[in-house]
A and B are shown apart, each in its own frame.
Chain A
Amino acid sequence: AQSVSQHNHHVILSEAASLELGCNYSYGGTVNLFWYVQYPGQHLQLLLKYFSGDPLVKGIKGFEAEFIKSKFSFNLRKPSVQWSDTAEYFCAVNALYYNTDKLIFGTGTRLQVFP
């Protein structure tokens, strides 16, 4: 069965620190990849997505992610976090072989940024 692993459950950083959140998936075929963010009290919103092309994807608010096919990974990065980045981050995968638009989500990473 497909699965998505987010190894960091809770990350605590100071402002200006660099961030990398891990995401690994289990499916070996063609995939679409997503990172969603949920700010406190708000709905989930798309941070960035990868469908094809350049494996380094840039998203909103200075976030980027790199798709490494050989490692089945899609890690999220930000060079310098801000207090406003405090949120929960979810990685999600759509395995295209199954010809369905379902997403498989990871369990999420809670990020706390202190001033």
Chain B
Amino acid sequence: DVKVTQSSRYLVKRTGEKVFLECVQDMDHENMFWYRQDPGLGLRLIYFSYDVKMKEKGDIPEGYSVSREKKERFSLILESASTNQTSMYLCASSSRTTEQYFGPGTRLTVT
């Protein structure tokens, strides 16, 4: 079974803090993705990576950055957290042209 794990299920941070969300997959997938999920808005792509050290902006990259130093690990960084970044963050991975496999999500609250 494909497994995508995320470092935290729940996280509470203060405005202005730097936040790191980690995602690890165990299936040697080339692609990894970060989404945020908000009620009524569905899933919106923040960034994705199709190879180590490669990244591309998604639909809502502002306020976020990413890092992929190893194939199995993809990190999402909030340089200076703001309250409008309170959300559920989902990581996913896939091989080329296959379905995406999702992690359990991290519910981030910024106060």
**Taking beta carbons and an 8 Å cutoff, which residues of A are in contact with B?**
6, 9, 32, 34, 36, 42-46, 49, 51, 90, 94, 96, 100-103, 105-108
Interface size on B, residues (CB 8 A): 26
For residue A94, which residues in chain B have a CB less than 8 angstroms away from its CB?
Answer: 97
**Taking beta carbons and an 8 Å cutoff, which residues of B are in contact with A?**
31, 33, 35, 40-45, 48, 50, 56, 58, 90, 92, 94, 96-105
Most chain A C-beta atoms within 10 Å of own C-beta, residue among B43, B58, B97: B43
Using known A-B contacts A43-B104, A44-B90, A102-B45, determine if residue A107 contacts B40 with beta carbons closer than 8 Å. Answer: yes
For residue A9, which residues in chain B have a CB less than 8 angstroms away from its CB?
Answer: 40
Most chain B C-beta atoms within 10 Å of own C-beta, residue among A6, A42, A108: A108
Question: With contacts defined as CB atoms under 8 Å apart, how many contacts are there between chain A and chain B in the complex?
Answer: 48
Q: Which residue of B lies closest to A108 (CB)?
A: B42
* Contact status B102-A44, CB under 8 Å: yes
- What does DSSP make chain A's interface, helix, strand, loop or mixed? loop
- How many Å lie between the Cα of A96 and that of B68 in the bound state? 25
* Contact status A101-B96, CB under 8 Å: yes
A90: contacting residue among B33, B43, B58, CB under 8 A:
B43
For residue B31, which residues in chain A have a CB less than 8 angstroms away from its CB?
Answer: 101
- How many Å lie between the Cα of A101 and that of B43 in the bound state? 15
For residue A105, which residues in chain B have a CB less than 8 angstroms away from its CB?
Answer: 35, 42-44
For residue B42, which residues in chain A have a CB less than 8 angstroms away from its CB?
Answer: 6, 90, 105-108
